[in-house]
């Protein structure tokens, strides 16, 4: 039996409306691997009101052919808040961000990094975690550690050793590291070192989910893939 299958309940780390792109409610491991402590990780993107999933004001054809400025993606620059209180055990800023985003180029970068990290793991070598997480923050509380990844350069507001409280701003959503587009990658782990950590299942204390033209409250939930959610006001 998976000893991490009982979810740890935390606050939702974002404000406003978000679309759930990857979630353990859809599959486990949510990202196709247990590596880097991401067995139960979430990815959150922002989308507009058009039918389908549109994370950028341009149409799908434009995004596929020419891409767009990274800062045009709806998620970029949105504040990220601590889902639980604790101490900052890791904080990385200064990883550069590609200013122009093209889906094919980004997909190739992610594939290349994934292959390289897989080879390094088999040879028991460690690579720079920022290659995967980009600018990121890790907050530890008791035996639970929260990782907030792919933050925008220059946006991280905390330093290693700082104490933080739930709801405190940690940084802003960006497109650094192993990212195909601006989004927040969020996961819980059982230790600070993501290379040796096991993923910990996570549920959110309370949030609203879009149901037709209205919003329905969910308590201690794991949002489903492509659900549109927001924190309680």
**Residue 157 structural domain:** 8-231
Average pLDDT over residues 38-59: 94
Q: Does residue 38 have a pLDDT over 90?
A: yes
Q: Picking from 15-19, 123-127, 194-198, 202-206, which range would have the lowest pLDDT averaged per residue?
A: 123-127
Question: Which pLDDT score is estimated for 6?
Answer: 87
Residue 159 lies in a domain: yes
DSSP 35: G
Average pLDDT over residues 209-214: 95
Average pLDDT over residues 141-148: 94
Residue 1 lies in a domain: no
CATH for 41: 2.70.70.10
Question: Which pLDDT score is estimated for 171?
Answer: 98
Residue 191 lies in a domain: yes
Number of domains in the chain: 1
Under DSSP, is residue 14 helix (H, G, I), strand (E, B) or coil? coil
Q: Encode pLDDT of 153-198 as tens digits.
A: 999 999 999 999 999 999 999 999 999 999 999 999 999 999 899 9
Residue 105 lies in a domain: yes
| Beta bridge pairs of residue 204 | 10, 221
Q: 132: buried, middle or exposed (CB in 10 Å: 19+, 13-18, 0-12)?
A: buried
Residue 28 lies in a domain: yes
Q: Does residue 120 have a pLDDT over 90?
A: no
Average pLDDT over residues 144-154: 98
Question: Which pLDDT score is estimated for 111?
Answer: 74
Q: Does residue 211 have a pLDDT over 50?
A: yes
State whether the Cα torsion 192-203-14-177 is positive or negative.
positive
Residue 3 lies in a domain: no
Strand pairing class (86-92; 135-141): antiparallel
């Amino acid at each position: 039996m998976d000893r991490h299958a009982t979810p740890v309940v935390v606050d939702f780390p974002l404000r406003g409306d978000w679309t759930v792109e990857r979630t353990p409610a859809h599959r486990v491991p949510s990202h196709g691997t247990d590596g880097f402590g991401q067995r139960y990780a979430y990815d959150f993107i922002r989308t507009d009101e058009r039918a389908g999933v549109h994370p950028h004001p341009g149409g799908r054809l434009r995004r596929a052919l020419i891409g767009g400025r990274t800062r045009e993606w709806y998620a970029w620059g949105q504040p990220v808040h601590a889902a639980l209180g604790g101490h900052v055990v890791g904080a990385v800023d200064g990883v550069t961000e590609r200013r122009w985003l093209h889906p094919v180029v980004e997909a190739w970068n992610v594939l290349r990094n994934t292959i390289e990290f897989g080879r390094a793991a088999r040879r028991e070598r460690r690579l720079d975690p920022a290659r995967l997480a980009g600018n990121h923050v890790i907050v530890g509380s008791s035996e639970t550690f929260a990782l907030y990844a792919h933050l925008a350069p220059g946006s991280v507001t905390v330093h290693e050793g700082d104490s933080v409280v739930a709801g405190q701003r940690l940084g802003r959503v960006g497109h650094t590291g192993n990212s195909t587009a601006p989004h927040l990658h969020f996961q819980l782990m059982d230790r600070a070192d993501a290379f040796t950590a096991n993923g910990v299942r996570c549920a959110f204390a309370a949030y609203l989910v879009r149901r037709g033209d209205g919003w329905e409250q969910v308590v201690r939930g794991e949002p489903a893939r492509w659900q549109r959610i927001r924190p309680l006001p």
